[in-house]
Homo-oligomer: A and B are copies of this chain.
Amino acid sequence: MTFVERFRAFCAERRSHLCVGLDPEPARLPVAVRGEPDPVFAFNKAIVDATLDVAPVYKPNFAFYEALGLEGWTSLKRTVEYIGGRAIVLADAKRGDIENTQRAYAKAVFDVFGFDAATVSVYPGRDAAEAFLRYEEKGVFVLCRTSNRSGDDLQNLVFDGRPLYERVAELAVEWNGRGNCGLVVGATYPAELASVVRIAPGLPILIPGAGAQGGDVEASVRAAGNNPFVVSSSRGIIYAGDGPDFAEAARRAALALRDQIEMVATH
């Protein structure tokens, strides 16, 4: 089974194109988990338990674990192991360096942690993607159009009549010899997403920026069309409540976003 087949199968089985971002911030963790020996893992476990039947993909963002030092890495490893094969686990690490270095990053993400997929940043070009794409059974999502406004600084520079992010989408298509390359396009830019999908039909798309960042979910799902995709929300789901029922609140937020997506999704 290829990565894209697994990705599609999880979405179909859960009738959901939702990705839950696991971005633990100590100051926002509910009191209910703060007394646990590993509060971050306890928090993630509760969120996963409450959302697994509607979340085909989980996306831990490495930054929030690194900010916790060694304990953060332990919590991250436990989280990946806990989810096990029950969903796609996507490493949102956006690593991007020359080949020799990027191979070490890919080893960390895929061999050490055992993630199913990862985001990469390709300012260094093909080398940065290739070191990850060599893992044929893993999904590799190339950062194309970020969800933030200052993404314009580089991504909307126009050359030969088209913006840089479109060129990145073309490159991803070129680099996709093994069929495991995807793209990241923010839900805050549905028109750009539509143009990316025209350039890269069939490539899986990770669409972050729903929820706290205010992305347009319906327009993004329409723009994704027939490409495999997930819409990702982190803060909007995991911090939906901070009381003892925080996991139930997260579940309600996840269901609401799932329903919002599925109303428009065509596949």
Contacts and interface: CB of A to CB of B under 8 A. Distances in A.
A105 interface: yes
State which size class the interface on A falls in: 35 or more
Contact of A63 (B73, B108, B146, B168): B108
A15 interface: no
A107 B67 contact: yes
Contact of A104 (B64, B105, B157): B64
A236 interface: no
B108 A124 contact: no
Contact of A155 (B69, B73, B123): B123
Interface stretch (A43-51, A91-99, A217-225, A249-257): A91-99
A61 interface: yes
B67 A112 contact: yes
A126 B64 CA distance: 20
Interface in A99-149: 99, 101-102, 104-105, 107-108, 111-112, 121-128, 143, 146-148
A74 interface: yes
A167 interface: yes
Interface of A: 23, 25, 61, 63-64, 66-70, 73-74, 77, 94-99, 101-102, 104-105, 107-108, 111-112, 121-128, 143, 146-148, 150-155, 157-159, 164, 167-168, 171
Given A67-B112, A69-B77, A70-B77, 11 more contacts: A66-B104, A67-B108, A67-B111, A70-B70, A97-B146, A98-B151, A123-B151, A123-B155, A125-B152, A158-B159, A164-B164
